[in-house]
Structures are given as structure tokens and as C-alpha cells.
Amino acid sequence: MAGVIEGIQELTELAGNNRMELLMFHLSDQNHRYGINVFKVQEVTQCPPLTKMPGAHPCAAGIAVIRGRSIPVFDLAKAIGLEPLEAYDNCFVIVTEYNRSVQGYAVHRVDRIINTNWSDVMPPPKTLGPDCYLTAVTRVNDDFVEIIDIEKVLDEVDEADEEISFEFSEAGYQMVQEAGWIILVVDDSAVARKQVTNPLKSLGLKVVLARDGKEALELLLDWSKNDPNMLSHLAMVLSDIEMPEMDGYTLTTKIREDARLSKLHVVLHSSVTGVFNQAMVEKVGADLFIPKYDPDELATIVINRLKEVQPNNLPA
């Protein structure tokens, strides 16, 4: 099973075409299937011996040594409120990279990888509420596959810092003043939206939220038609890359193709780092790529953007 994602870099050609590869897996011996974007996955392996750590999070299965690295492994079923795995010796570990860290998630078994279009991946029903552990759902052979919000899981087991340093906050307030600058934040994860929104608000900025690229594009087109003042105050579009219905690469392409929106400043961010992201940013015409998630780095980028637009383009 370790070779299930062998050649993963070949899949990067899907990016920019609003397509994704989804690794499907099971959290129990039932047929219910869950999914995770392959771009977040480093490898899949039979679970190695685990070492329990005193005082660890209740969902922590233990520490594993994989390819010479010590990696925390979490029981994914337990982390999302399901029955924990009965044993780890026969399960598999999905090794992922999120938010500049590597971690493993123990699952019952891994199914297969499918190639799908982001337009066929739908956000979960809003009626599931803010505590839902899903970012999206899709259908495979008439069966639902639930895509887990790993960023929410990771935030609960290792809460991210959402506060910016005082000097950044002070500098931001001095620059924003009464200008009314707006940042459009686009992300399918409620946790990620919160993590990004809090430092932006501490800079004195107004934040508008969208759950995916399709929703963001519709909002921008509506502003261009009915409320151009919003566009004139829009300092930046800050968008996640991997999202249902329309990914961040496709959103950027659509923005650059529309004369009314083409000059917008677009920053893409992702929980996955790497040269690939930077290459795709250049391909679709985004202004910048930043990996998730460092509040001071985000504040620096926003302040630098405000320095660009404030002197000569201050909104009326």
C-alpha cells in the first residue's frame, strides 16, 4: 500500500483544470467511505509500531518512526467523534502535510484514488452546523464520499496561533485608518477561515468570507455590476487552493480573464507547501503564494500590499 500514491507529482497537471485526485479510505469495517485530497498526502503505509506519549491528546495513537522521521499519529475516527479503531497493528497510516507540519492519521483501510472534477464536489449541507468535520461531499458509483476537514481536526489536537505580534497590529491600524480596506477570504474550511480572519481583523480590516471559488467569483461579479465601490476598496483576494465547486487556481484564472476583475490582487495559500504551488501560481497569474499558516507572515504580506495601494490609490 506504500506505493498507492507513487508518482504523485504527475497528478499536479490536474491543477488549474479544476480537477483533483481523491484518496478514499474507511474508518471502520463498514462500507462508508471518506476522502482526502491526494495533494495533502505524502504516503500511505501499514501502521508501524507506535509509542504512546504521556500527556498526549486523547486522539493521539502514538509516535511512529517513518522514513527516519518521528511523526505523531492520530486516530482519525476518534478525532471526528466516531468509534476509535479497535487495534492499530492491522490498520494503515495516511501521512499528510498540513500547515507546515507532517502528521499521520490511522485509518481502518485505504480504498483507492479517484480522479474527479471540483465541480462535482459539493460543500456539506449548512444544516450540519459549524461543528461538522466535513469540507465537502461527492458521489462515487452512487455512494457518498465525505471529505474530512483535516484542518479542523489538526486545530483541535494542536491549536494554531491566530494572534499577530503587537508591532504588526499597530502598523496595520496606522495604515488602514479610516480607509475601509476589504479583504476577501475564500476557504472551504470553517477553521481555516477563522484562523485567517482573526489576524486580519486585528489589523483593522473588514473581512468578507466565501466558502469556495464559485461563491467568491459570483460575489466579485455582483460587486462589479451592482456595487463597484466594494471593488475599489478591495485590497486583496486571499484564497485557498483546494476547494469544492471551483478551486483557487480556477478562480484566479477566471479573475484574470474578466476585464472588470483582472487587476485585482490575488494571493493564494494552501496547507501544502512546495515548488509545485509556486509554479502554478505563476501559471494562473496570481500575485503571490503563501503556505498556511503564520499570522505574522500573513500580516507582513497584507501590510506590504497596503503600502502599495495606500499612497496613490486611497479609496474615497
pLDDT tens for each residue of 211-228: 999 999 999 999 999 999
Order of all β-strands in the sheet with 266-270: 206-210, 182-186, 234-240, 266-270, 288-291
Instruction: Answer yes or no: are the C-beta atoms of 272 and 39 closer than 8 Å.
Output: yes
Band the pLDDT of 34: cuts 50, 70, 90.
very high
Band the pLDDT of 311: cuts 50, 70, 90.
low
- Cα separation, 227 vs 238, whole angstroms: 20
Grid coordinates 481536526 are at which residue?
Answer: 153
Quick one: pLDDT at residue 106?
Answer: 96
Quick one: pLDDT at residue 159?
Answer: 62
Fold of 8-157: OB fold (Dihydrolipoamide Acetyltransferase, E2P) (2.40.50)
Q: Which of 43-52, 75-84, 100-109, 150-159 has the lowest mean pLDDT?
A: 150-159
Asked whether residue 15 carries a pLDDT value surpassing 90, the answer given is no
Quick one: pLDDT at residue 238?
Answer: 96
Strand 41-46, strand 101-107: pairing: unpaired
Quick one: pLDDT at residue 204?
Answer: 82
Q: Which residue has the higher pLDDT, 315 or 279?
A: 279
- Cα separation, 262 vs 224, whole angstroms: 11
Region 228-247 average pLDDT: 90
- Domain spans of the chain? 8-157, 166-313
Band the pLDDT of 35: cuts 50, 70, 90.
very high
Q: Which of 44-53, 64-73, 250-259, 276-285 has the lowest mean pLDDT?
A: 276-285
Q: Which of 61-70, 158-167, 237-246, 257-266 has the lowest mean pLDDT?
A: 158-167
- Cα separation, 261 vs 234, whole angstroms: 11
Tell whether omega for the bond before 293 is within 30 degrees of 0, i.e. cis: yes
pLDDT cut 70: percent of the chain above it: 83
Ramachandran bin of 114, using left for φ above 0, alpha for ψ from -120 to 50, beta for the remaining angles: beta
Asked whether residue 172 carries a pLDDT value surpassing 50, the answer given is yes
152-164: b (≥16 Cβ within 10 Å) or e: bbbbeeeebeeeb
Quick one: pLDDT at residue 164?
Answer: 61
Region 280-292 average pLDDT: 85
Asked whether residue 123 carries a pLDDT value surpassing 60, the answer given is yes
Asked whether residue 12 carries a pLDDT value surpassing 50, the answer given is no
What is each CA distance from 111 to 94, 114, 140, 248, in whole angstroms? 12, 10, 12, 27
Asked whether residue 189 carries a pLDDT value surpassing 50, the answer given is yes
Quick one: pLDDT at residue 276?
Answer: 55
Asked whether residue 62 carries a pLDDT value surpassing 80, the answer given is yes
Amino acid type, 1: M
CATH 3.40.1350.10 fits 166-313, yes or no: no
- Cα separation, 18 vs 118, whole angstroms: 5
Quick one: pLDDT at residue 272?
Answer: 66
Nearest one of 124, 130, 105 to 45, comparing CA atoms: 105
What is each CA distance from 224 to 123, 217, 230, 253, 264, in whole angstroms? 25, 11, 8, 17, 12
Q: Grid coordinates in use for 72?
A: 505523531
Region 167-176 average pLDDT: 58
